[in-house]
């Protein structure tokens, strides 16, 4: 029965974009973090930068609202993740300070330019930070604006754009959790 459910679930994944996969970054607390660290909890993953004047803070506020709402119903089953697309300026201490304004369980990730670019490629994230950006420079970073929902197996479920409300994200998450628990026979 479980095998049949897994086959059915896999067939629904067919035709979906390949999002996520192997990456190796470092947390804002200096610990190694890979795609394996997403396993065991539901994850919301966002790519942005700490100097962002408006869009990134609004999206992280939305993620905070979503995580708070989902936690009330399901408990501590979510890991909100922020991955910087500005590796020249967003060093660990800066990311840590930036994330203090949002949900306390946020994990901030950074890496050098190549590691950042590799993680972005896995999630199909566009970003415009030049590889030799001046860390003291005053520049903005153009980047994709999506919040990625990943299941407890680290598999991509959905990408939510900027226009998606927190309420709509919560509704989709609740539906997805219920479906996933029914299909897998597991709870997180």
| pLDDT tens digits, one per residue of 97-108 | 999 999 999 999
| Percent of the chain surpassing pLDDT 90 | 70
Binding residue ranges for Cu cation:
52, 56, 143
Binding residue ranges:
52, 56, 143
| Percent of the chain surpassing pLDDT 70 | 91
**Mean pLDDT across the chain:** 89
Rounded to two decimals, the pTM is 0.87
Residue 11: the pLDDT is 44
Q: CA of 97: how far to CAs of 56, 94, 124, 141, 162, in Å?
A: 15, 5, 27, 19, 24
DSSP assignment string, 56-115:
HHHHHHHHHHHHHHHHHHH-S-EEEEEEES-TTT--HHHHHHHHTTS-TT-EEEE--HHH
Q: Once rounded to an integer, what is the mean pLDDT over residues 5-34?
A: 75
| Of the candidates 157, 166, 140, the residue with the CA atom closest to the CA atom of residue 60 | 166
Q: Once rounded to an integer, what is the mean pLDDT over residues 110-138?
A: 87
127-167 tens-digit pLDDT: 887 777 888 888 778 778 899 999 999 999 999 999 999 99
Domains of the chain: 20-184 (3.40.30.10)
């Amino acid at each position: 029965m479980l095998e049949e459910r897994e086959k059915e679930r896999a067939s629904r994944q067919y035709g979906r974009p390949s999002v996520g996969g192997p990456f190796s970054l470092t947390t804002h607390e200096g610990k190694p973090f890979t795609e394996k660290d997403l396993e065991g909890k539901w994850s919301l993953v966002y790519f942005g930068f700490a100097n962002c004047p408006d869009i990134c803070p609004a999206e992280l506020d939305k993620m905070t609202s979503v995580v708070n709402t989902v936690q009330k119903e399901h408990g501590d089953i979510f890991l909100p993740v922020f991955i910087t697309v500005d590796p020249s300026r967003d060093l660990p201490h800066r990311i840590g300070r930036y994330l203090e304004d949002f949900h306390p369980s946020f994990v901030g990730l950074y890496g050098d330019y190549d590691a950042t670019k590799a993680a972005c490629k896995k999630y199909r994230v566009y970003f415009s930070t030049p590889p030799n950006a001046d860390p003291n420079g005053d520049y903005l970073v153009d980047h994709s604006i999506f919040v990625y929902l990943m299941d407890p197996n680290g598999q991509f479920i959905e990408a939510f754009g900027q226009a998606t409300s927190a309420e709509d994200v919560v509704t989709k998450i609740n539906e997805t959790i219920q479906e996933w628990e029914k299909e897998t026979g597991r709870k997180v």
